[in-house]
Structure 1
């Protein structure tokens, strides 16, 4: 079955202007924010289902947020989200900015962006002076908006000394 929405995607900027259909894809998550209804609804379900389409009595913003690559996503009550492409990785040896096995992406629409730190398996913070594990950057995506999420790539940087478990 094909679902499309004739609304404004991406804040109405090209190529997503009003009147151009946005596909609603299976296995994706969207936020439909109904901002205003300009008329009454229908008295019964049957009346609503059999009525002709009416595209003039609504004001809705659709925010596409999840790309297939993102495996974990968390929402707050205001519709902001944080999504990551990987929730776990096992790294052997040293990994730096030239490595490829240590990459992951973060996507958010939270205006202040995101922050990340490094922690040992027991939950204690890994100090900068003993940084066997650290993120390639500590924060990002500031300036994202509810309708314009930002995606950034990060890396887990390791020194390759010993066998340790940790978290970002």
Structure 2
């Protein structure tokens, strides 16, 4: 009796192993097609601007009573890690969390980025802030955007690199 069961179960085991192989292949293929946008900080410069008597601005190294705004210039690399699909970044902003709430700064007409598979894009952005200057200097900074699935993505900016050149 056991020989009959053994001989008849062999095709079922083969079919089951084939189905498991197809499912595993499908899962691994979908996993390899996924990717994300990786962001690397290259160069970041910050300028504290004071107004002079002629209506211009003088860059300074520290915030004083005469400081009217902060100007930040950043150079970032954005890389799409997917080998098969495009990645999108929409509604790109800088986010500052402080004692008085969260504030955002738009990035000079930068709204959307569309990256092809395995594409590397160098991005130079600049923005200015003219309210709550001490709070913005001491608060955490994030580069935020919505991805192609309409999910909010937050990338923390290294502040030690921001203020190291001003010391």
TM-score by length of 2: 0.34
**Greater relative contact order (Cα 8 A, min sep 6): structure 1 or 2?**
2
Q: Larger radius of gyration, structure 1 or 2?
A: 2
Give 1 or 2: higher strand fraction.
2
